[in-house]
């Protein structure tokens, strides 16, 4: 590995820095800009994902914010769907499915997620664009950092941080906008009367974005990412990995144009170190698969460019599988893929089915705590309950409550008006059940309450039953 | 092995290990806690729900963070004491 040390010196990184890195001090990484197939894919992905992030809170659906996680009201709106606390299981399964999807794609194509979809990568990419826009590409940035402080350096650094901070603050605002209606939030922030909590979270998330995408960058991937730690468990010899073709590349070395390098005993790698310079995590892919590699494919793009220039075939660094590198064949469709795929598909179908079958009403019956039962003037037994009705449908409905379980059981409401509930409304209704003591066989009798929409009595999703107990005196 | 400088845990890693692991656990704890207890009806707090959630989250983070810090502290390598060292030499 002598040559890799030479790389460092040719890149004019002082030797002290290299030695310090043995003591694990971080060396600042200046990824060089690269253009190519994969970087275009990443740009597309950045625009799509950040587009979703920044635009979704502004969309309206049915007169409300389309995506709103209303924590105080304990309901989550996601386009046409509304999730209530009792629907948490659906969200939990959504997370499980997201996890399985990640497993599936990791087994199939390695760390695709890291290089193209992870928020850390996506935001860092945008921060890198802004940095390059102000300070220039890698060589200019390195020169600027080495130069003593001057008016120009100060101006460039101040501009960069100002742009970063502005962008990060807007990111924080958008984040809070997923939890409290974003239009009101903007107006309130503008007039300095947003609540302390909201203001705090705008700053907190903004600060985290600035710190993670501006300063910490690859350290997040290396030290904080749980996925990076266990992804190797999902790999097998047929997983697509990004690798340097050692057989073809070595021995590496610089050469003169037109020289017959093969007779000179050289491989295809011209040792230009471009692959190291573009790497956002600062590693040398030629040292083999490394845990730090986020599969961003920047080194593929740049090496292909180098190969084009020197007139060698592309693909010295490429997506391949371990089986192919070892000279064998690879199978895309293998057991692991089938198992992940099958699990994923069945979970998804089950989830869709369960969502479509979900009950749209909710009924809760609580006994009045103050009295067990009461005897009426006419000698009947009365129990008092509070019935909680909930309409989880998108539309308003009128409801009717009935009770059964004892012969001749009567149900009386204090209010005579219709029980009309708008979407999402919860209504507490005091209810009295009156029974003839002759019908009571024991101290406690099971009764059942039924709630039914009067405008759609046959819709099973708008009907529900809840059990309760009716207490009476001990007879005989 | 622990004396080899290349294997020293970087400070950044230590800081992140403490802050991040406790952050994750406190997020989970806050979700479970506030899913069960409504700050206004169950805990009778006289502040907005968002404020209660946020304060709760940070209290959890403080607690889990202290625990992570202690773990870090207790998991540092012990000074090598050879078996022949006598107690009163220490
Ligand atoms: S970019 Fe390609 S040719 Fe240049 S050093 Fe890297 S592997 Fe070798
Ligand atoms: S080695 Fe290549 S793919 Fe891996 S992080 Fe570095 S540039 Fe990206």
A277 HSE (CA, 13 A, CB side): 21
Q: For chain A, how many structural domains are there in total?
A: 2
How far is residue B74's CA from residue A148's CA, in Å, rounded to a whole number?
42
In a domain, A427, yes or no: yes
Predicted ipTM of the assembly:
0.76
pLDDT, tens digit, 9 for 90 and up, residues A6-15 = 444 334 444 4
On chain B, the residues whose CB falls within 8 A of the CB of A88 are: 35
Closest CA to A400 of A414, A417, A419: A419
Q: Which residue range is the domain that position A284 belongs to?
A: 236-325
Helix A182-190 and helix A196-209: axis angle, to 10°?
100
Mutate to test the interface with A, among B12, B52, B53 (most CBs of A within 10 A): B12
How far is residue A299's CA from residue A278's CA, in Å, rounded to a whole number?
6
Q: Do A25 and B8 touch (CB under 8 A)?
A: no
In a domain, A28, yes or no: no
User: In the numeric block, which tokens belong to residue A377?
Assistant: 């003037």
Q: Domain residues of chain B, as ranges?
A: 23-73
- Residue A368's contacts (CB-CB under 8 Å, 6 or more residues apart) are A383, A384, A385, A386, A430
* Residue A303 near ligand 1, beta carbon < 6 Å: yes
In a domain, A241, yes or no: yes
Given the structure tokens 């740049």, which residue do they identify? Answer: A302
Q: Is the confidence at residue A19, as pLDDT, over 60? A: no
Q: Is the confidence at residue B42, as pLDDT, over 80? A: no
In a domain, A245, yes or no: yes
* Residue A276 near ligand 2, beta carbon < 6 Å: no
Do A309 and A387 have their domain in common?
no
Q: Is the confidence at residue A423, as pLDDT, over 70? A: yes
Average pLDDT, chain A: 87
DSSP label at residue A245: -
DSSP label at residue A85: G
How far is residue A45's CA from residue A32's CA, in Å, rounded to a whole number?
20
Residues 191-230 of chain A with CB under 8 A from chain B are: 195-198, 200-201, 216, 219-220, 222-224
**Is A401:A433 a contact under the CB 8 Å cutoff?**
no
Q: How far is A80 from chain B (nearest CA, A)?
A: 23
Do A375 and A429 have their domain in common?
yes
CATH number, domain containing residue A414: 2.60.40.10
pLDDT, tens digit, 9 for 90 and up, residues A192-234 = 988 888 999 999 999 999 999 999 998 889 888 888 888 878 8
Q: Do A88 and B8 touch (CB under 8 A)?
A: no
Considering only the beta carbons, identify the residue of A25, A216, A223 that sits closest to B17.
A223
Global pTM value: 0.80
Q: Lowest mean pLDDT: which of A128-132, A168-172, A419-423, B57-61?
A: A419-423
Q: How far is B89 from chain A (nearest CA, A)?
A: 32
In a domain, A383, yes or no: yes
- Residue B51 CA, distance from chain mean position: 23
| pLDDT the model gives residue B10 | 83
Question: Which residue(s) pair with A67 in the sheet?
Answer: A78
In a domain, A191, yes or no: no
Q: Tell me which chain B residue has its CA closest to the CA of residue A179.
A: B50
Given the structure tokens 């040398």, which residue do they identify? Answer: A284
**Is A160:A134 a contact under the CB 8 Å cutoff?**
yes
Go through chain A and tell me how many residues it has.
Answer: 476
* Residue A316 near ligand 1, beta carbon < 6 Å: yes
Is B37 in CB contact (< 8 Å) with chain A? no
Cα A236 to averaged position of ligand 2 atoms, centre (Å)? 20
**Is A440:A475 a contact under the CB 8 Å cutoff?**
yes
């Amino acid at each position: 590995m002598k040559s890799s040390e030479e790389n460092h010196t040719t890149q004019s990184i002082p030797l002290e820095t290299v030695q310090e890195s043995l003591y694990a001090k971080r060396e600042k990484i200046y990824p060089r800009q690269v253009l190519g197939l994969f970087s275009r894919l990443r740009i597309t992905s950045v625009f799509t994902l950040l587009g979703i992030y920044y635009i979704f809170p502004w969309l309206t659906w049915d007169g409300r914010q389309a995506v709103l996680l209303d924590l105080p009201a304990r309901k989550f709106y996601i386009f046409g769907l509304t999730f209530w606390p009792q629907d948490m299981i659906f969200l939990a399964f959504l997370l499980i499915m997201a996890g399985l999807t990640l497993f599936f794609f990791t087994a199939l194509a390695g760390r695709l997620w890291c290089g193209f979809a992870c928020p850390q990568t996506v935001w860092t990419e945008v921060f890198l664009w802004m940095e390059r826009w102000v300070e220039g590409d890698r060589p200019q940035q390195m020169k600027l950092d080495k130069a003593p402080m001057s008016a120009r350096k100060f101006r460039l650094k101040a501009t960069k941080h100002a742009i970063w901070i502005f962008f990060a603050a807007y990111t924080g605002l958008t984040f809070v906008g997923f939890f409290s209606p974003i239009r009101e939030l903007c107006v309130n922030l503008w007039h300095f009367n947003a609540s302390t909590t909201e203001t705090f979270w705008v700053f907190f998330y903004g600060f985290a974005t600035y710190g993670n995408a501006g300063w910490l960058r690859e350290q997040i991937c290396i030290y904080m990412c749980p996925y990076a730690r266990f992804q190797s468990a999902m790999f097998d010899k047929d997983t697509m990995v990004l690798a340097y073709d050692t057989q073809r590349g070595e021995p590496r070395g610089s050469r003169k144009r037109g020289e017959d390098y093969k007779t000179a005993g050289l491989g295809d790698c011209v040792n230009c170190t471009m692959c190291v310079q573009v790497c956002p995590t600062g590693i040398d892919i030629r040292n083999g698969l490394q845990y730090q590699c986020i599969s961003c494919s920047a080194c593929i793009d740049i090496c292909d460019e180098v190969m084009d220039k020197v007139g060698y075939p592309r693909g010295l660094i490429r997506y391949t599988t371990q089986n192919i590198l070892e000279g064998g064949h690879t199978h895309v469709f293998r057991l692991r893929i089938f198992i992940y795929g099958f699990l994923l598909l069945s979970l998804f179908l089950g989830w869709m089915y369960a969502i479509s079958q979900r009950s749209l009403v909710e009924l809760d019956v609580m006994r009045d705590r103050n009295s067990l039962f009461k005897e009426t003037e006419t000698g009947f037994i009365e129990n008092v309950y509070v019935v909680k009705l909930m309409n989880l449908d998108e539309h308003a409905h009128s409801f009717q409550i009935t009770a059964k379980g004892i012969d001749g059981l009567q149900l009386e409401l204090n209010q005579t008006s219709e029980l009309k509930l708008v979407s999402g409304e919860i209504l507490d209704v005091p209810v009295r059940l009156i029974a003839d003591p002759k019908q009571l066989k024991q101290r406690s009798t099971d009764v059942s309450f039924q709630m039914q929409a009067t405008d759609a009595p046959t819709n099973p999703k708008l009907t529900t039953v809840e059990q309760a107990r009716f207490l009476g005196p001990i007879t005989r | 092995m622990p004396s080899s400088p290349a294997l020293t845990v970087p400070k950044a890693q230590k800081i992140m290990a403490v802050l991040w692991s406790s952050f994750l656990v406190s997020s989970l704890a806050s979700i479970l806690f506030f899913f069960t207890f409504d700050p206004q009806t169950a805990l009778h707090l006289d502040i907005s729900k968002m404020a209660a959630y946020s304060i709760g989250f940070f209290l959890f983070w403080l607690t889990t963070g202290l625990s992570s810090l202690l773990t870090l502290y207790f998991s540092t390598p012990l000074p090598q004491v050879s078996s022949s060292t006598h107690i009163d030499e220490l």
